[in-house]
Every structure is written in structure tokens, then in C-alpha cells.
Structure 1
């Protein structure tokens, strides 16, 4: 058992794979287990899940720094980004990073039949080139290797008229950065937000068009009254983009997100990046200001696994992720695995 920032975690020693699957706190895990126990006993009631959905939504709003009225719920990043992609004008020019996670890029590429043109450039050029495009869609932190996009350059491009859509899945929960200025910020919950897989959120500005293509009863202005028939009566805010929630996922998220939102953001950032940069220094790499490290060394993944370190193989490297429940002992274990003869 580990204690991190006031919460208990059952995370095993050497677990450095949060960028793939985050480990819930004991409290979040017990909340989900309790809800499932109620389901097994026939005590589950649909209306009872409105409250955890609302708490998780509010937690996401606080993490991004926007009003709760700007947050929509969904099940995955690609589904939420797809609502934005479906609304871009015909022949829109969209800029993405080369090698970007496909949940960010494919929803726009799928609009090619309308003449939407998607251009890939190196991540380091995204900020410089952003002003030449109608919309930029990019991860704040790259999934493959932890590189950070130039947020200041994107914010400047937005001030000049370029729309900016950010996938914060690999940063929200550890990166101390203001994202509230973006047109849309989307994130899945099952990584750094320490929630069950099956829930995602999008903070979206009203002026950024999105098509409620998956609208159903949960997107209604009065969700419990408008479950049958027409006309369509969508909610007046971002809830119009909601899809019906995965109930038990939101129960876990309702425990995790408000807690994360209430932490000292700078302290969490310093802890996670500090561990990652300590590992980088021990591996002969320069500091990078990211909680994700890619080790591109032959046999690295096998060496780490043999030492009980859980990592992920991504883009030709062994990817390590350092979150708030990790410690210097995890760093030492990984370094020992890679330097042992």
C-alpha cells in the first residue's frame, strides 16, 4: 500500500505504465466495487447515477479551468473529437503533428470526402505553422514519447483566428498548464485521471461548432422527460453533446477527478516531472519537463520486465510514465534494470 497526496493506492512496486492504464485510489476502487455490488443485488437505479456524473463533470471542468456548462461527456476521445470534426467547414485546412495518436487525427481524416485537408508536420513545427491553418488538433503531450507541444505558440495562433483542439489525455492530472483558452480540450479518464476506462470529457467553447451526431436522451434539456419521440430538445449548453454515461465508470471518476482537481497542481507537476527527469539523468538523457520517458535502447523493454518494471512498448521505445503514486524507488528499480550487466 502506498500513500500519495493523501490517498491510498494498491499500486505495485515498479509500476511505470500510467500512460497506458492508471491505477485508481483505494477510495475510487471501493466506490466502483460498491456500485457493482448494488447492481448485483438489484439496488441499482438509473437516476442515482446522475450525481456521480455531475461530480466527475465538475472535476474535469475544474482541472481544465472552465465552467461546468462547457463540459460534455462521452466514452472515448475519438468519439468526442469526431463531433468537432463533423462540423468543420468543407475544405477546411487542419494541422496535426506527425505520428500523432490516431484518436486525434482520424476523425478529421474521415472528413476527406468533404474536401477537409489534414496536414502533418513535426511536433516542433506545429506552433510555428498553426497560423496558416483553420484548425489545429494536437495532444498537449505526445503519447509515444512524452514530448510537449508549444502551448504558447498555439495560444498566439488562436488569438489570430486559428481554432485549437487539444487532447490532454497524456497530460491532464500531472501537467501544470493553463488549457482553458483552447477551443476544445478532450481527455480520456483511464490514464492519468485514474478513472475506469469508458469515460471521457470535452471542454468546448460555444463558438466552436460541433455536431451532436450521437445525441440521445442524455443530451436532452430534461433528460428524464424526453426519452421518447420528437421534437429534439437538446440541452442549451455542452450537455447537448453528451452520450449516455457508462454508469460505473463515472462512479470511479466521481471519486478521482474532484480529488485531482483539488491538489496543488504545481506540487504534483514537480513530483511527476522530478521523478522522470531523475530517471533521464541516470540514463544519460537531458531533462525534458515531461512525466513520460521513452527509452530507445535495444532490449530495454525486456530488461525492465525482467526486473519487475511495468512499461509499454510504443513507437520503437520502452515508454515509462511517472505519476503521483510513484517514488524514487521506482526510478532506482528501472535504472538498475537498464544498467545491470
Structure 2
């Protein structure tokens, strides 16, 4: 058991796979286990999960720097972005980064949008002439960070809306994304929640351009009054984009996200980035200022050496979060040797 940032984590030595699956604080795992125990004996009613959903919704808003009333809930990033894609005109021109994670791009391509890919560093300069920009704050494959200030300036000057995927950034980076048109993130990586919860922040200026393609009873102003019969009656705000929650996932998120939101995220970023940059420096490589590192190494060889990492885009991908230590860096260096 490791103790970090005021919480206990049953994370094994050499675990560097947070960009794939985050390890929860013990209290989060205990909350989910208790919910499963109640389910086993029929101890909950559907409405009992509402406080968990709302607690996680508010904490997500805090983590990405938007008002809570803008946030809709769902279970996956692509599912949420499909509502953005459905609101685009036919043949829309969508700009993204080369090698972008496909949950951030496939919803648009599947709707017939014309996708233009450019190197991440060139993204702000290519904004004009497009109908939308969709990009991750931190790239999944290698942790490269988008220049958000430059992107914001270019998008505002050109009047081009932007959808930001914060999945690989929220939880370790301090974020103030209230300027973005849409902000989406999945919860099971750096947000330390069970898989099956995601959130979409919708700026009021693009609410009418967002289509609730999977509208259900849960998207009503009062879900318990929209369970049967017509007419269509959706909530007035961002809750009109809500998807029915995966209960146990939101139980975990209701414990994990408020914990993360209570931390000094600048200190979390400094901790995570210091470990990542220490690794790079020791390997004779330039620092990158990200918690995610892609290495020219054999992931299977790392596994045999006791390092838990991922194979992504032909490289071994590792990530350093608040529960990692310098010992993990040393273990990885030994494995690489």
C-alpha cells in the first residue's frame, strides 16, 4: 500500500499504466465494493444513485474549470462526441492533430465530415477554413500537449468552435477550459474511476448545435416524470444531453473526482512531470513537461521486468501519476538497461 496526496493506493511497484487504467484510492474501491454488496442483497433503488451522479458531475466541472450546469453525463468519449458530430452540417470540415485518438475523431468521420490532420504543433495555424477543431489536451500516444492559448486565440479570431478531449489531462493538469465549446473526458484513467463514466461540458453558445442523438428518460428535466409516453420533453440545460448512468461507475467517480478536485493540481502536475522528465533526462532525452512518455522499447520486455506499461503507436507508453515514486523511475531504467 502506498500513501500519496492524503490517500492510500494498493498500486504495485512498477505500475506505469495510468494512461490506460488508473488505480483508485482505497476509499474509492471500498465505495464501489459496498455498492456491489448492496446490489447483491437488493439494497438500492434507482434513485439512490442520483447523489453519486450529481457529486461526480460537480467535481468534473471543478476539474476542468466550467460551471456544473454545463456538464452532461455519459459512459464513453465517442458516445458524447457523437452529439457534437450530429450537429455539424453535411460535409463539415473538421481539423485535428495527426495521430489523434480515434474516439476524438471517428464520431465526426462516421457522420461524413472531411477530416484534415496536421502535426499537433501546427494545429493553431491551420484553424481557418474549418467548421470545427477536435483535439486532445494531451495526446494519448505520447503525451504531447496542445498549445491551448494559441488554439483559443486562433479559434476565437476565426469563429471556429473547438471540442477538447481532456481524458489524458484531467486529474493531473490544472485546467480552465470554460472558453472551449465542448470539453469531454472519460473517467477511468487519470480520474481514477471505474470504466463506464464520462462527461461532456457544453458551452451555452453551442447548446443548439449539439444533438441529443441518444435521448432517453434520463435526459428529462425530472427523469422520473419522463419515463413513459410522448411528447419529447428534455431538460432545458446541459442535462438534456445526459445518458443513463452506469451506476457503479458513478459511485466510484463520486468518491474519486471530489478527492482529485480537492488537491493542489499544480502540485500534482509538478510531481507527475518531475518523474517523467527525470526519466527522460536519465535517458539523455529532452524534457517534455508531460506526465506521459513514449519510449523506443519493447513493451513485452518491460512486462517481463515487472513494469506495467502499454504498447501504443509502435512504442512503449508509460505515465506517472500521484501514486508513483522515484523508485518506479529506477525500476523502469533498470528494465530498459
**Equivalent position to 2:131, from 125, 134, 137:** 134
Structure 1 consecutive aligned stretches of length 4 or more whose deviation exceeds 4 Å: none
The offset of 1:206, in angstroms, is: 1.8
Instruction: Tell whether 2:90 aligns with 1:93.
Output: no
TM-score normalized by the length of structure 1: 0.96
CA distance in 1, matches of 2:125, 2:8: 43
Aligned pairs for 1:285-296 (under 5 A) are: 285-296=285-296
Contact 2:63–2:174 (8 Å) recurs in 1: no
Deviates more, 1:54-63 or 1:155-164: 155-164
**Equivalent position to 1:177, from 159, 163, 175:** 175
Deviates more, 1:20-29 or 1:148-157: 148-157
Corresponding residue for residue 319 of structure 1 = 317
Corresponding residue for residue 237 of structure 2 = 237
**How many residues get paired?**
334
Q: Which runs of 5+ in 2 are unaligned?
A: none
Contact 1:85–1:108 (8 Å) recurs in 2: yes
CA distance in 2, matches of 1:266, 1:37: 37
Corresponding residue for residue 205 of structure 2 = 207
Aligned pairs for 1:219-234 (under 5 A) are: 219-234=219-234
Instruction: Tell whether 2:274 aligns with 1:277.
Output: no
Corresponding residue for residue 196 of structure 2 = 198
Contact 2:66–2:176 (8 Å) recurs in 1: no
Counterpart of 1:207 in 2: which secondary structure? helix
Contact 1:234–1:240 (8 Å) recurs in 2: yes
Counterpart of 1:61 in 2: which secondary structure? helix
Q: CA RMSD in A?
A: 1.0
CA distance in 1, matches of 2:5, 2:236: 37
Corresponding residue for residue 79 of structure 2 = 79
Corresponding residue for residue 111 of structure 2 = 111
The offset of 1:237, in angstroms, is: 0.7
TM-score normalized by the length of structure 2: 0.97
Contact 1:127–1:149 (8 Å) recurs in 2: no
CA distance in 1, matches of 2:82, 2:205: 17
The offset of 1:91, in angstroms, is: 3.0
Contact 2:178–2:203 (8 Å) recurs in 1: no
Instruction: Tell whether 2:155 aligns with 1:147.
Output: no
Corresponding residue for residue 166 of structure 1 = 164
Corresponding residue for residue 301 of structure 1 = 299
Deviates more, 1:101-110 or 1:172-181: 172-181
Corresponding residue for residue 4 of structure 2 = 4
